[in-house]
């Protein structure tokens, strides 16, 4: 890697870290205005980009859902800001999708991911006794949709559907162990090859807004009847 490329990469890493910190601070301020005992979405970019407000309005659904997803977040990073992303909102229902960014780590080990995820769940139960916990399956990816994006091509070689499937099995077991509900909402977004449907994905990993519509369809039976 050239000095120039290294400098650009360092700048981007620093920029992303500052973005994460700014989002946490924005959430801290927003949390002062939330209504307790509502529904919370929390996780990484795949949760942050869920256009839940618009989808609920389109369907005339009355739920109050607060989204505290942060793009690029790992389980380790969420553990550092549990107050701003979870505790301060005092939710009665939590839907969590965290850990996909852990899958890309050079030193990734599934048992370590699950260990940190277990710590997240145990801390939530300690701080919010009686909370209803739902752990979402990780969405599949589509390497063929990466196009000419070299960085995404490389990322999807690591964050493969094989790795995601294995991690999902482990998350399901963890949910059962912790008394949480494991939700696989992927049926409507998965093609015959087990990949994320090409028409829904931006670059093989993230989804356009319409991709979340079938996810919400699958989620609706697991939202509370009333709050």
- Label residue 130 left, alpha or beta by phi (over 0 means left) and psi (-120 to 50 means alpha): left
How confident is the model at residue 3, as a pLDDT? Answer: 42
Q: Where are the domains of the chain?
A: 3-222
Q: Give the three-state DSSP class for 208.
A: coil
How confident is the model at residue 80, as a pLDDT? Answer: 98
How confident is the model at residue 2, as a pLDDT? Answer: 52
Answer CATH for 3-222 from 3.10.450.50, 3.40.50.300, 3.40.50.1110, 3.30.420.10: 3.40.50.1110
pLDDT in tens, 21-62: 999 999 999 999 999 999 999 999 999 999 999 999 999 999
Q: Give the residues of the chain that fall short of pLDDT 50.
A: 1, 3
pLDDT in tens, 96-118: 999 999 999 999 999 999 999 99
**What are the φ and ψ backbone dihedral angles of 140, each rounded to 5 degrees?**
-70, 170
**Alpha-carbon radius of gyration of the chain:** 17
How far is CA 180 from its chain centroid? 16
End-to-end CA distance of the chain: 54
How confident is the model at residue 175, as a pLDDT? Answer: 98
Dist. CA 64–CA 211, nearest whole Å: 21
């Amino acid at each position: 890697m050239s000095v120039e490329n290294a400098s650009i990469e360092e700048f981007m890493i620093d920029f992303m870290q500052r973005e994460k910190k700014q989002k946490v601070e924005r959430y801290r301020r927003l949390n002062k205005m939330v209504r307790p005992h509502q529904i919370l979405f929390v996780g990484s970019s795949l949760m942050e980009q869920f256009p839940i407000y618009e989808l609920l309005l389109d369907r005339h659904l009355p739920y109050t859902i607060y989204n505290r997803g942060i793009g690029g977040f790992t389980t380790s990073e969420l553990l550092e800001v549990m107050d701003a992303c979870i505790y301060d909102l005092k939710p009665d229902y939590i839907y969590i999708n965290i850990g996909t960014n852990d899958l890309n780590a050079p030193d990734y080990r599934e048992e370590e991911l699950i260990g940190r995820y277990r710590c997240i769940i145990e801390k939530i139960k300690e701080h919010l006794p009686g909370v209803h916990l739902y752990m979402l399956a990780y969405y599949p990816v589509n390497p063929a949709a990466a196009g000419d994006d070299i960085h995404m091509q490389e990322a999807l070689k690591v964050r493969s559907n094989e790795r995601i499937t294995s991690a999902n099995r482990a998350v399901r077991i963890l949910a059962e162990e912790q008394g949480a509900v494991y939700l696989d909402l992927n049926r409507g977004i998965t093609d015959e090859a087990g990949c994320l449907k090409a028409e829904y994905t931006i670059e093989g990993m993230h989804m356009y807004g319409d991709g979340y519509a079938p996810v919400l369809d699958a989620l609706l039976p697991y939202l509370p009847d009333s709050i």
